[in-house]
């Protein structure tokens, strides 16, 4: 219900903005609208309408309330689709509609978006530290990562935009993998509360290896996919505001804190009496699915140029 009402309200504002554009220009053809010289005042109004919808979808703080609730209620397949595809539509809309159609409003509102993004990074990371539900931990970490994405989008730099797109790709791989991790242990032990877990490494070594690599990637450790996206984004933001870039680095610090805390509590320590009832490691199907995401996360971190080269020419020419 939260997801429905948040999306409905934001989408109505975006629909009104589109209708207003059609009333003024007589068209909704995207290629024609790019050639029109929209006034600065109108850009501000349209920016608010579009941004209200896209901020809910990405989600940007403080429009993120629906995301953890939706993840907790959804089955694992729903969480994977939500993290891997659905929330990326918000960033796509910003790249596709806001930046080309409303350049003046983008520059005008960018300090405010930076503020919300930093709050999202810090708040999302801090609130993750106090969660006890495994799914909520992964969900709130997504709020922090999407804050980094909006920083890169509104940095108006090649590195920032490339970092934002790469971070989305990396987050789709890593976050989906972590939700599958949660699904695997929930299927065996029927609980997502951390305090019931410890010593999983003894009974599930293959699971632990995949969990370890995905946790490192979620923390932004060099050699993993998230590191490439975050470092590019921070470089692009630093060219605009060094203070904002430094504050955004807090997300990587807090990410290491909650990532290591989660992994250490679940994997190490004496074997919990609750997990001795089902010591079975991953099946071949689970290993195949999770192994692909784990390997892909490492490959993107070690060979990022294979992806960056595809987007570099387009982004550079667009900014020029």
Give per-residue pLDDT as tens, 45-98: 888 888 888 888 888 888 877 887 887 788 888 888 888 888 888 888 888 888
Angle of helix 225-238 relative to helix 134-153, nearest 10 degrees, comes to 40
Q: Which residue, 212, 138, 223, is CA-closest to 175?
A: 138
212-256 per-position pLDDT tens digit: 888 888 888 888 888 888 888 888 888 787 787 788 887 778 878
Mean pLDDT across 273-298: 80
| 229: CB partners within 8 A, 6+ apart | 148, 163, 164, 165, 166, 167, 168, 169, 170, 171
Domain ranges of the chain: 2-319
Give me the mean pLDDT over the 14-23 stretch: 87
Average pLDDT, the chain: 82
Residue pair 167/152 in contact (Cβ under 8 Å)? The answer is yes
Give me the mean pLDDT over the 134-150 stretch.
83
Specify the pLDDT at position 275.
Answer: 67
**Do residues 175 and 142 make contact, with C-beta atoms less than 8 angstroms apart?**
yes
d(C-alpha 60, C-alpha 55), whole Å:
5
Q: For 256-266, what is the mean pLDDT?
A: 82
pLDDT single digits (tens) 270-285: 776 766 665 677 788 8
Report residue 281 as tokens. Answer: 């490691």
Higher pLDDT, 195 or 273: 195
Q: Looking at the predicted structure, is the pLDDT value of residue 259 above 70?
A: yes
The pLDDT of residue 317 is: 63
Q: What pLDDT is stored for residue 129 in this prediction?
A: 78
Work out whether the CA dihedral 229, 231, 235, 237 comes out positive or negative: positive
pLDDT of residue 199: 77
Q: Indicate whether 318 pLDDT > 70.
A: no
pLDDT in the model for residue 51: 87
Q: For residue range 177-194, what is the model confidence (pLDDT) as tens digits?
A: 888 888 888 888 777 788
Can you give the pLDDT at residue 247? 81
Tell me the per-residue pLDDT of 106-119, one tens digit each, with 9 for 90 and over: 888 888 888 888 88
Residue 320 has pLDDT above 60, yes or no: no
pLDDT class of 316 with cuts at 50, 70, 90? low
User: Angle, nearest 10°, between helix axes 242-267 and 134-153?
Assistant: 160
Helical residues (DSSP H) of the chain, grouped into ranges: 2-25, 30-35, 40-57, 66-73, 76-81, 88-93, 99-101, 103-129, 134-153, 158-189, 200-203, 205-219, 225-238, 242-267, 284-302, 305-319
pLDDT at site 319: 59
Reduced to 3 states (helix: H, G, I; strand: E, B; else coil), residue 133 is strand
């Amino acid at each position: 219900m939260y997801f429905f009402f948040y999306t409905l309200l934001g989408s109505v504002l975006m629909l009104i903005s589109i209708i207003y554009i059609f009333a003024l220009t007589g068209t909704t053809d995207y290629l024609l609208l790019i050639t029109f010289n929209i006034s600065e005042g109108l850009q501000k109004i349209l920016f608010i309408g579009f941004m209200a919808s896209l901020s809910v979808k990405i989600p940007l703080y403080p429009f993120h309330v629906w995301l953890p609730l939706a993840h907790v209620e959804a089955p694992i397949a729903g969480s994977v689709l939500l993290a891997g595809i659905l929330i990326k539509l918000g960033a796509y809309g910003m790249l596709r509609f806001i930046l080309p159609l409303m350049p003046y409003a983008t520059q005008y509102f960018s300090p405010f978006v930076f503020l919300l993004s930093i709050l999202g990074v810090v708040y999302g990371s801090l609130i993750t530290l106090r969660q006890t539900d495994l799914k909520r931990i992964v969900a709130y970490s997504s709020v922090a990562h999407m804050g980094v994405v909006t920083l890169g989008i509104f940095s108006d730099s090649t590195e920032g935009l490339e970092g934002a797109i790469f971070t989305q790709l990396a987050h789709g791989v890593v976050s989906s993998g972590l939700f599958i991790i949660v699904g695997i242990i929930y299927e065996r032990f029927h609980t997502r509360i951390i305090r019931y877990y410890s010593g999983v490494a003894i009974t599930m070594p293959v699971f632990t290896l995949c969990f370890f690599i995905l946790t490192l990637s979620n923390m932004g450790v060099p050699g993993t996919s998230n590191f490439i996206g975050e470092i590019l984004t921070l470089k692009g933001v630093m060219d605009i505001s060094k203070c904002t870039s430094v504050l955004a680095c807090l997300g990587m610090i807090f990410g290491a804190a909650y990532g290591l805390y989660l992994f250490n509590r679940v994997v190490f320590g004496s074997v919990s009496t609750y997990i001795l009832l089902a010591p079975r490691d991953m099946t071949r199907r689970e290993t195949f699915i999770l192994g692909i995401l784990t390997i892909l996360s490492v490959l993107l971190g070690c060979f990022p140029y294979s992806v960056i080269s595809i987007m570099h020419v387009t982004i550079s020419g667009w900014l020029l």
